[in-house]
Structure 1
Amino acid sequence: MLQNSRTDNWINRDNGPPEFRPGPVVSLADVLAVLAFIRRHVPIISLTCFAALGVATLYLITVVPTFTAKALLIVNAKATFADAASVSTAVESQIGIIKSESIASAVIEKLGLAQDLEFTTGQGSGMISRLLGWSKPATEASAARYALEPFERKLSAKRVGPTYLVEITFGSRDPDRAAQIANAVAEKYITHQMDKGSLQDDQWVKDRLNELSTQALAAQKALEDYSKNRKEPADSAATIDKLAAAAESSENAYDNFRYVLRKTVATQQQSSPVFEASLVSAASPPLRPSSPKARIVLGIAIVGGLLVGIAIAFLRDLLDRGIRTSGQESRLSAPDDRIDRPLPDAVRPDHQSQASAKATPVRLTGSG
């Protein structure tokens, strides 16, 4: 009975819930085997590590570093949004405008980036350029188009958390150039929003307002001057009525134009909310390159070298084990795994027959 209860206890423990089952135990023999494996293959692992470090060092020496400048601006909506999703959609739309082709083209034209070697990697002439599909731009417009692709690849804009802040970053080989371009992008975006935000910023609107205001002031001044300097009372009443009507007409035209202008601006703001953008902090030249990062590159090289070295050592052990196994199997000739070893010459059958022939006794007979 005692033996059966013990057996039942073992069975219940094996069939229990997974959280109560004992996990795999690493024995001391396994640890010693791993240490012995590493000790045997230290030269191979060390060689792969040094090779990987050499490749990483060569990469850090030859690669051109990239400097990333950051500018921070805020976009304030004049309209009130109902929920956070609407705010996120509105801010993302402004980020799309910042990264648009119109802003990029304006910055390229302003800073003359079409002639910068950093943005003309796709331009060239000759047989190699023709084979690769490159062609030398014939006009300034085509040169700007070539510079547009690398410009958009280096430009980035993202929202800073659940706020109206937008971070503009630009990466370049020259830290001063990176800061200059990031600030130019922010400036062009702010100018674009100001030009689009209100019709009062258009030059035609300003000129028209000035013209109507001048006409109204001139008509009013003419009425006042005539009223002070009139000489003939008979004609003064009719003239004053005409001047008063002209002054009133000019003033009404000015007021009506301003009223229509305000209504148009209000309609635009209701249909598509206008954003007021302002620069929070301008980009300054970065002091350190953003890429490549030496610590990360060297760390990846060390880990990769260790893994490659361990893999090579493991494959080498497998090959050695396979060669030894095939050598042993070639020596096995009997089903009971008896090893067929060469027999000495003294015990070979042919040598035994020869030896027996040589050892045949000779009878000696004698007379009497």
Structure 2
Amino acid sequence: MLNRTNDWIDRDNPPPEFRPGPVVSMAEVLAVLAFIRRHLRTISLTCFATLGLAALYLITAVPTFTAKALLILNSKATLGDAAAVSTIVESQIGIIKSESIASAVIEKLDLAQDPEFATGRGRGMIHRLLGWSKPETEASAARYALEPFERKLSVKRVGPTYLVEITFDSRDPDRAAQILNAVAEKYITHQMDKASLQDQKWVKDRLNELSNQALAAQKALEDYRKEPADSAATIDELAAAAVSSKSAYDNFRHVLRKTEATQQQSSPVFDASLVTAASPPLRASSPRPKIVLGIAIVGGLLLGVAIAVLRDLLDRDVRDRDIRASELEYRLSTEDGRIERALPDAIRPDHQSEASAKAKSVRLTGSG
């Protein structure tokens, strides 16, 4: 006996895969085409208006150029899981975006006097004229430049790697590359200075001081021994001073090495290097004409359709009010029984319900 696959199918309630999809009737298609024909002028004018606004924006907008650079963070320590690596890399990103790096770059390139970074100085000038703030200094000018600088600087990690991408936006492509390379240079220098305590100024001064004291004590001992009449007590005193000075110098060096070893064991140390230096971008990153014009076209079409739908709704409401007023007038004239008239032309078969059956002329005879 052959089994039919369609024996078990319920014809009244078939499975989803056997159900027909939604069908668009010809009447609906014709209605849409009629709607477009009626309001083609409105939709076209709205689209041209949005295109004009977009073109005006492209003409007046100041182009922005984005320079890019790539850093790599080489860890000297053995790291644990991926979460620990991510935390450490994110901390280095925070250092790159820190106020100390930004302030150093602003000072080095004198960005406080650049009009692009002095956006907040106008408000400060008004406050000074009104007596609400102190006169501007170089430090306050640098503070005003910090906000736009931090807004234009962007730093992000490239996937699950040690690579960090840095970008900077500016009106001048050469200026964008110059600032970005200065940021990378300051960060690398900051990491190198932090890697060794012996490179810090106060440590160098202390080492030089202890070294000079040890050399002076040793030289005093040697000079005294050359004299013909020397005293054993004096020699012992000078020798003790020389040993003490040398011991102080050695102990300080030992403490420095121990402190650096402890720091390297407690937290990983990164050697940052520049993989790709920033170069002046060839094209502006914003505004993008294709995207702006595309948005203007789509927005103009949608706005034009919305206006057309609104006009249809308003026209329909006006027609409905006219029909209701005409029906009311007709009923009043019918009840009076003394007027002979026909229904107005406003009541058409495609805009009435029950009143459409009475669209013919009706002759009434008064009782009087």
Change over 3 Å in CA distance of 1:324–1:158 after alignment to 2:
same
Aligned-pair distance for 1:92? 0.3
Aligned-residue offset at 1:253: 4.8
Partner of 2:283: 288
- Identify if the C-alpha distance between structure 1 residues 120 and 324 changes in structure 2 by more than 3 Å, giving closer, same or farther: same
Give the aligned length: 337
CA contact (8 A) 1:331 1:340 kept: no
Could you tell me how far apart the structure 2 residues matched to 1:314 and 1:178 are?
48
Residue in structure 2 matching 1:142, options 123, 140, 143: 140
Superposed, 1:190-209 pairs within 5 Å as 190-209=188-207
Q: What SS class does the counterpart of residue 39 from structure 1 fall into?
A: helix
Equivalence for 2:312: 317
Question: What per-residue deviation string (whole Å, max 9, x for no partner) do you get for residues 336-364 of structure 1?
Answer: 73358585xxx8659xx8xxxxxxxxxxx
SS of residue matched to 1:156: strand
Instruction: Specify the alignment match of 1:364 in structure 2.
Output: none
How far is 1:250 from its partner? Answer: 6.2
Contact 1:73/1:167 (CA < 8 Å) preserved in 2? yes
Q: Structure 1 residues 222 and 125, CA, compared in 2 at 3 Å: closer, same or farther?
A: closer
Aligned residues of 1:190 and 1:277 also touching (Cα < 8 A): yes
Partners of 2:54 and 2:293 within 8 A in 1:
yes
Query: What residue identity is the alignment partner of 2:268?
Result: P
Following TM superposition, by how much is the alpha carbon of 1:299 offset from its aligned partner in structure 2, in angstroms? 0.3
Give CA-to-partner distance per residue, 1:212-231, whole Å, 9 cap, x none: 5677778889999999xx99
- Secondary structure in 1 matching 2:122: coil
Q: What is the letter of the counterpart of residue 28 of structure 1?
A: M
Aligned to 2:22: 24
Q: What's the offset of the Cα at 1:121?
A: 1.5
Q: Describe the superposition over 1:60-86 as per-residue Cα deviations: whole angstroms up to 9, x where unpaired.
A: 111111111112112222222111110
Deviations 1:268-288 (A, max 9, x none): 222333222122222111111
Mapped contact 2:128–2:134 kept (Cα < 8 A): no
What TM-score do the two structures reach when normalised by structure 1? 0.77
Q: In the TM superposition, what is the alpha-carbon distance from 1:137 to its structure 2 partner?
A: 5.2
CA positional deviation for 1:120: 1.3
Which is further off, 188-197 or 285-294? Answer: 188-197
Q: Which structure has the bigger radius of gyration?
A: 1
Match of 1:187 in 2: 185
* Partner Cα separation in structure 2 for residue 137 and residue 55 of structure 1: 42
213-222 or 52-61, which deviates more: 213-222
Contact 1:219 1:243 in 2 (8 A): yes
Would you say 1:114 and 2:91 are equivalent positions?
Answer: no
1:117-160 residue CA offsets vs partner (Å, 9 max, x unmatched)? 11111222699768999968521211111111111111111111
Distance 1:205 1:242 in 2: 29
Unaligned runs of at least 5 residues, structure 1 = 1-7, 354-368
- Pick closer, same or farther for the CA change 1:191–1:226 going to 2, 3 Å: same
Matched, 1:263 2:261: no
**Percentage of pairs with the same residue:** 77
